[in-house]
Amino acid sequence: MIDKIYYPENYRSSLNVLETEIAIKKIKDFFQKNLSQQLNLTRVSAPLFVAPETGLNDNLNGYERPVNFTIKDLYEKKVEIVQSLAKWKRMALYKYAFKSNEGLYTDMNAIRRDESLDNLHSIYVDQWDWEKIISKEDRTIDYLKDTVRKIYASLKELDNYIVEEYAFFSPLLPDDITFITAQELEDTYPDLSPKLREDAVAKKYGAVFIIGIGNELKSGSKHDGRAPDYDDWHLNGDIILWNPILQLGLEISSMGVRVDSEALERQLEITGDQDRKRMSYHQMILNNELPLTIGGGIGQSRLCLFFLRKAHIGEVQSSIWPADMKTECENRGIFLL
């Protein structure tokens, strides 16, 4: 777990700035094409901002403040920069008349003003958001695992591609991804914090998918927070990869089977957010109007950081950083874009 800047000893990037920019383009082009083929996804355009009363914005863990502004020609109507597109994607599948086993993906760009800035966290977020229509029978752990394996196959293809393009790199990923539940993880490492458990299990296996995030564990705590109105907490999880440069488990994707009416009712009751039932998006789920879906996000900059063996996310994306962090990074051979 990183709660401050970690500086790898004797770090030196294998690629200069221009080479890095070229490699970023290669990674993004290769991976999104492969992912879309694996999951049968079509690329669509996505909004940068939404109206708060629609209920489409993601409130993440519940404490993050969305960036908002008003629009002059709409009588100073307030809108919010998206924090993710978890809900918008499901609505888009409905509006665009996608069919079962078809899905979409898009480039999601967001601002998260409350992020604590470190090697992995920036106020600028860029990820591939994807969503796919499934049947009622697909709302199972087996279907979730099958989808994770397809995403992991795309990650393995990318790993091999990067090694072919840059001969000085060696493969990073194991042949298979390991599945473990959040409760099994707590049982295995009861004395560690959730983040340190992720580090330990990722180091052991190389690549893991942690199932069931959002519900209380036996200890009374949660592995991590999840909004109550997009993932079904019994059918979701995170893909974690062992990062040898930063010596930690790197979350590369959060995903899951989305809530149906029953799961939405249950989770809103748990979190005390029943007032959301008045919003149009939530009404459509409760009335079984929206399709059943599975979806998630895959961090673009995190993917580039991982496969290009970078020490700081600012090496693969342009953002804003504290002056002392920039100075220290420069002194240690870390060039922030």
CATH number at residue 66: 3.30.930.10
Residue 12 lies in a domain: no
- Whether residue 286 is contained in a domain is answered as yes
Query: Greatest CA separation found in the chain?
Result: 58
Identify which of 283, 281, 302 has the alpha carbon closest to the alpha carbon of residue 155: 302
Query: Which residues, listed in sequence order, are joined to residue 296 by a DSSP beta bridge?
Result: 130, 255
**Does residue 48 form part of some domain?**
yes
Assess if residue 5 is contained within a domain: no
pTM here is 0.91
Verify whether residue 29 is a known catalytic residue.
no
Catalytically annotated residue among 238, 260, 301, 317: 238
The residue from 36, 83, 84, 127 that is catalytic is: 127
Predicted local distance difference test score (pLDDT) of residue 59 = 65
Sole residue written with tokens 């920019």: 21
pLDDT (0 to 100) of residue 179 = 98
- Look up tokens 């697909």; give the residue: 138
Q: What contacts 327, CB < 8 A, 6 or more positions away? A: none
| pLDDT for position 15 | 93
Annotated catalytic residue: which of 80, 131, 199, 251? 251
The CA–CA distances, whole Å, from 64 to 59, 84, 115, 222, 227 equal 7, 12, 8, 18, 11
**Domain limits at 161?**
17-331
Task: Report yes or no on 281 lying in a domain.
Answer: yes
Integer Cα distance of 313 and 168 in angstroms: 21
Give me the catalytic one of 58, 80, 231, 315: 58
Task: Please give the pLDDT value at position 1.
Answer: 42
Burial letters 160-174, b for 16+ CB under 10 A, else e: ebbeeebeebeebbb
Query: What is the structure's pLDDT at 3?
Result: 52
Q: Is 113 a catalytic residue?
A: no
Half-sphere exposure of 223 (CA within 13 A, CB side): 23
CA angle 154, 156, 157 (to 5 degrees): 65
Half-sphere exposure of 181 (CA within 13 A, CB side): 12
User: Around 19, how many Cα atoms within 13 Å sit in the side-chain half-sphere?
Assistant: 9
Helices H, strands E: what count in the chain? 9, 11
**pLDDT at residue 309, as a whole number:** 96
What size, in residues, is the chain? 337
Q: What is the pLDDT along the chain (337 residues), one digit of tens a residue?
A: 445 788 898 899 999 999 999 999 999 999 999 999 999 999 999 888 888 877 777 666 666 788 888 988 888 889 888 877 888 899 999 999 999 999 999 999 888 888 888 999 999 999 999 999 999 999 999 999 999 999 999 999 999 999 999 999 999 999 999 999 999 999 999 999 999 999 999 999 999 999 999 999 999 899 988 889 889 999 999 999 999 999 999 999 999 999 999 999 999 999 998 988 888 889 999 999 999 999 999 999 999 999 999 999 999 999 999 898 889 998 898 999 8
Residue pointed to by tokens 């874009």 = 337
In the residue annotation, 254 being an active-site residue is answered as yes
Q: Distance (Å, rounded) from C-alpha 52 to C-alpha 261?
A: 22
10 found inside a domain: no
Report yes or no on 248 lying in a domain: yes
- For residue 174, the model assigns a pLDDT of 97
Which residue bears the tokens 């042949």? 175
Q: Which of 84, 122, 254, 267 is catalytic?
A: 254
Q: Is 251 a catalytic residue?
A: yes
Token pair in block for residue 249: 């488990």
Which structure tokens are listed for 101? Answer: 């086993």
- Give the number of domains in the chain: 1
What span, in angstroms and rounded, lies between the C-alpha atoms of 174 and 298? 19
Residue 131 lies in a domain: yes
224 is a catalytic site residue: no
- Let me know if 154 is a catalytic residue: no
Residue in 112, 139, 226, 302 annotated catalytic: 112
